């Protein structure tokens, strides 16, 4: 299945946002730099970005680690089958304090462990994989399935909103604002938090007394679509 384009994702979130927030009247134009232009009494540009907990360039970020865990599980299952292993399903929980770096090496270790335990069932004794620090727990039920699939099984806690992370993202968008459509009379920044994505999910209540530095954005709005929550981040006066 082809991944939606960034433009399609932005339009999807803006459509939801417009149903939860009272926008000025006007004609909506989907564009680029900024992502949306609202033609009304004034020309309002709205830039849209997802508010991730950690920048995706960090190898320990959930964006990176989630993908690597999926790769490890898929590769390990292939290796297990190539070695004549049974078509069991296996679930692994990874230790977030031990980021996955070498996908192939970890997959081979996991496939070797699976071969040793495939005829048992239930939670795998941690002593079986004590030599693999990236693994926190393993479980399988011993049954074979035609469409068996190995999966990561992570648990997550939902953190409070990080003002520093919002500042970091606003600073990055501020640096790019010089390239925005000069015909706009004002700009807003819409930061989306997708609660279904553990790389983004967080409480969005703004902490008392905190404020951002003044930016080119008239409003900085944090939006959690599935809950219809919209919070405005205050900015210091000039």
CA distances to 49, 83, 85, 154, 164 from 106, rounded to whole Å, are: 33, 16, 17, 17, 34
Q: Rounded to whole angstroms, how far apart are CA atoms 48 and 9?
A: 10
pLDDT tens sequence across 35-45: 999 999 999 99
Instruction: Determine how β-strand 91-94 pairs with β-strand 36-39.
Output: unpaired
Q: Rounded to whole angstroms, how far apart are CA atoms 10 and 191?
A: 11
Task: Quote the pLDDT of residue 182.
Answer: 87
Beta bridge partner(s), residue 48: 190
pLDDT tens sequence across 100-154: 999 999 999 999 999 999 999 999 999 999 999 999 999 998 899 999 999 999 9
Single out the residue of 184, 235, 222 nearest to residue 48, CA to CA.
222
User: By CB neighbour count within 10 A (0-12 exposed, 13-18 middle, 19+ buried), where does 27 fall?
Assistant: exposed
pLDDT tens sequence across 6-33: 899 999 999 999 999 999 999 999 999 9
């Amino acid at each position: 299945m082809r991944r939606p384009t960034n433009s399609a994702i932005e339009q999807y979130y803006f459509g939801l946002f417009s149903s939860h927030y009272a926008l000025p009247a006007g004609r909506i134009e989907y564009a680029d730099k900024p992502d949306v232009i609202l033609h009304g009494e004034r020309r309002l540009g709205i830039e849209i970005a997802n508010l991730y907990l950690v920048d995706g360039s960090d190898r320990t970020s959930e964006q990176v680690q989630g993908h690597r865990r999926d790769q490890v599980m898929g590769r390990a299952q292939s290796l297990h089958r190539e070695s004549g292993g049974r078509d069991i399903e296996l679930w692994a929980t990874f230790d977030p304090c031990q980021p996955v770096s070498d996908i192939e090496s970890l997959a081979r270790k996991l496939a070797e462990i699976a071969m040793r335990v495939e005829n048992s069932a239930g939670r795998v004794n941690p002593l079986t994989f004590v030599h693999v620090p990236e693994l926190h727990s393993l479980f399988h039920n011993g049954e074979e399935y035609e469409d068996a699939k190995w999966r990561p099984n992570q648990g997550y806690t939902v953190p409070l909103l990080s003002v520093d992370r919002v500042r970091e993202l606003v600073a990055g968008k501020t640096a790019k604002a010089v390239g925005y459509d000069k015909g706009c009379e004002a700009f807003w920044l819409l930061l989306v938090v997708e609660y279904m994505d553990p790389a983004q999910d967080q409480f969005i209540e703004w902490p008392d007394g905190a404020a951002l530095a003044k930016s080119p954005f008239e409003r900085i709005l944090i939006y959690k679509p599935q809950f219809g929550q919209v919070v405005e981040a205050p900015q210091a006066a000039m």
